[in-house]
Structures are given as structure tokens and as C-alpha cells.
Amino acid sequence: MSTEGHGEKPIPRFLSQDQDDASPMPADTSNGEAVGEGLAQEIADKVITKQAHESELDAYRAMLLIRRFEEKAGQLYGMGHIGGFCHLYIGQEAIVTGMRQVMEDGDQIITAYRDHGHMLSSGMEPKYVMAELTGRSHGYAKGKGGSMHMFSVERDFYGGHGIVGTPAPLGTGIAFANHYRDNGRICVTFFGEGAANQGQVYESFNIASLWKLPVVYVIENNRYAMGTAVERGSANAHHLYNRGSAFGIPGEQADGMNIHAVRAAGKRAMQHTRSGAGPYIIEMLTYRYRGHSMSDPAKYRTREEVQDMREHHDPIDLLGKHLVETGEATEADLKSIDKEIRALVGEAADFALQDPEPDPDELYTDVLVS
């Protein structure tokens, strides 16, 4: 079972001994503050149910890791170290983190191209994710995939897909494999509210419901399909959770900025699907603070709208406040967590900048399985 690796020394499968020898890894502690390899994976592991049931502090850590990672990625993009398309998850962290907390070991995740948060919450190492963003040899795809295309079958993360809507049938297919093998696993399939208008999504809903496949569809409704507000692109725009009703798929809407709401809805969905009742849809109402991708100036919405979300609905601030109010953590604790995570992300960035580009010979490898 691929989940046996959880909690073990985090080494992506392709980093074989040979490759390590051939291309020595840059030092881990270039800034002098060794945080220790594996911390990020520990953070991720702790939000996966079996490791620690719904610990608020662990969720906080996991969300903050995504936030700081994405901020750093944005910074490196601005400096020209990351190329192409880069879609940041800032603002949406509670969704994948909360869902992770209600998933079991062995359940799978698949998503589209706003995927860094899903990777980190799956326990993929930030420095190898970041090295993929910078197109370097130790990136999760050896620098051949980039921001939108990373995978870790060991960590039950199935990508990372660049075409809008494709995660729906692909995730349904992974669920089909679960069903075929009767292994009790669920594939949690994420896509955006823009993708929710795609024909292939409904083709998937139909088959998933017809065959009672173990798939939970999570629509991350961040209000804008690139520049098109949901009201301009979707009929009955405020009821996307209802999009499966014609196929008999139950759905509900949840506040995706509030991890407690995410978990509550997630738990209902997972229970429903785990019982063998087939698919379930959760529409998570959320917001992305940044543009669609790094090159999007986001002129289609007001500064005030963004500011309001940041000030009043930020998922990390909300959970931080809750932790302090309940006495689970002090402000000082949160500051210390932030420091720890900043150091971790800093190391990841340093690694990603020092890691060599892929060997030219890699151009022709991995086209076919030999």
C-alpha cells in the first residue's frame, strides 16, 4: 500500500540512490538555520486524520505552510525564477487542509492547476515542489512538469492537471479503481466553479452516480473563473452544490474560509461516500486573494472586495483567533510557528534556486515507460 510511507523519511520515489550520486543535492541549511528535513511532511501528516484527529494547531500549521509557501512562490515568480503559469492558492488554504483532516490514510486527492496547497497538504516536500516551480532537476517532475504538473503516487496525490475540468473524470476514474479493487478508499476530486460548467463534469457525475463510485467532488468556488465572475458564467450561480441533483448526487454548500465548516461538510461527505452510497458534492465558498495566475492583474474586482475578504474572512486569521480564544495557543506560540514555517519555506526557496537545471539528456527520457 502506498500509504505505508506516511511519516517515514520523505524521499520522492524518483530520487533513487543513483540519481543522488549523479547529482548531489545542494546543502539543506544554506541560511544557517537548520529546520530539519521532514518537518513539512510532519505538518501534513498531522492533518491526516489517523495522525492526529482534527487538531486545530496542526491545521493552523498546515494552512500557514501553504500561505508562506505561496507567498514565496509569488516572490520568486516576480524575480523571474519561476516561469510560465503559476496559480497561487492564497486565501483558499482551509479547503484542502480541512478536507485532509477528514480523509483517511489511502484516500486520494486530484486537482487542477491551483495545486501547490494540495501537494503540501499531501505531505510532498516543499523544497522539491519549489524546485519543480523553478524548473530544476530535483523537482517532483525533474523540472519537466512545472507548477501545474506534479504527482506523488506514494502520497496519493494524482496531480496537478493543466486543463480545466479534467480532474473530474480522472478523479472519477481513480474512484472507479477503488471500487474495482473494493479497497474502501475515496478519491477527493477538486475543481473550480468555472470547471463546474464543463460537460465532462456532468459525464462524470452521471457515471459516478450510476456506478456508485467512491468520489467526493469539491468545487472550490473562488468566485472568478479567471476574470469571469461566477454570476456571469454560471446559471443558478449561487447553487453550484446542487449541480449533481439531476443525477441524484447530494450536495451542500460550505464556508470554505472557515476550516470548521469545511471539516463538518467534509465529514458528512466522506461518511456518505464511505458507506457505499456513491458520490457527494461540496461547494466551498472561498476567495483567492491573488489573480488567476501571476500575470493576472485582477482588474475585474475591486480592491475593497479583496481587502474585505482578507480582513474579515481570512481562514488563517480566523483559526489563529480561535486558538488564542480557546487557550490552545498564545500569540507567542503562533509567532513561533510562523517563524518556523518561514524558515522552512526559506530553505525550500534556497534549495530550489541552487538545485541545478535538469541534465540535457533528460529531454528525451520519460516519454515512454521503457
Partner 1 sequence: MSHQVLMPALSPTMEEGTLAKWLVAEGDAVKTGDVIAEIETDKATMEVEAVDDGKLGKILVPEGSEGVKVNTPIAVLLEDGEDESAIAAAEAKAPEPEPAPEPKPAEAKPQAEPAAQQAKPEAAATPRPKAEIAPDPDVPPGTDYVELTVREALRDAMAEEMRTDPDVFLIGEEVAQYHGAYKVSQGLLEEFGEKRVLDTPITEYGFAGIGVGAAFAGLKPIVEFMTWNFAMQAIDHIVNSAAKTHYMSGGTMHCPIVFRGPNGAASRVAAQHSQDYSAWYTHVPGLKVIAPFDAADAKGLLKAAIRDPNPVICLENEILYGHKSPVPQLDDWVLPIGRARILRPGNDVTLASYARGLTYALDAADTLAGEGIEAEVIDLRSLRPLDLETVLGSLAKTHRLVVVEESWPVCSVGSELCARAAQEGFDDLDAPPTLVAGADVPMPYAANLEKLALPSAEKVVAAAKAVAYRS
Binding residues for partner 1, rule: CB under 8 A, are 12-14, 108, 110, 139-145, 149-153, 158-163, 166, 168-178, 180, 187, 199-200, 202-204, 206-207, 210, 365-369
Shortest Å, Cβ 201 to partner 1: 9
Closer Cβ to partner 1, 143 or 315, answer by number: 143
For residues 25 and 19, what is the distance between their CA atoms, to the nearest angstrom? 10
Of 188, 220, 227, nearest to 90 by C-alpha is 220
Closer Cβ to partner 1, 10 or 173, answer by number: 173
Closer Cβ to partner 1, 117 or 159, answer by number: 159
Shortest Å, Cβ 38 to partner 1: 20
For residues 72 and 349, what is the distance between their CA atoms, to the nearest angstrom? 7
Shortest Å, Cβ 153 to partner 1: 6
Residues shown for the chain: 370
Closer Cβ to partner 1, 140 or 224, answer by number: 140
Closer Cβ to partner 1, 95 or 207, answer by number: 207
Shortest Å, Cβ 90 to partner 1: 24
Shortest Å, Cβ 200 to partner 1: 5
Shortest Å, Cβ 42 to partner 1: 22
Closer Cβ to partner 1, 332 or 369, answer by number: 369
Shortest Å, Cβ 107 to partner 1: 12
Shortest Å, Cβ 261 to partner 1: 29
Closer Cβ to partner 1, 67 or 179, answer by number: 179
Closer Cβ to partner 1, 247 or 300, answer by number: 247
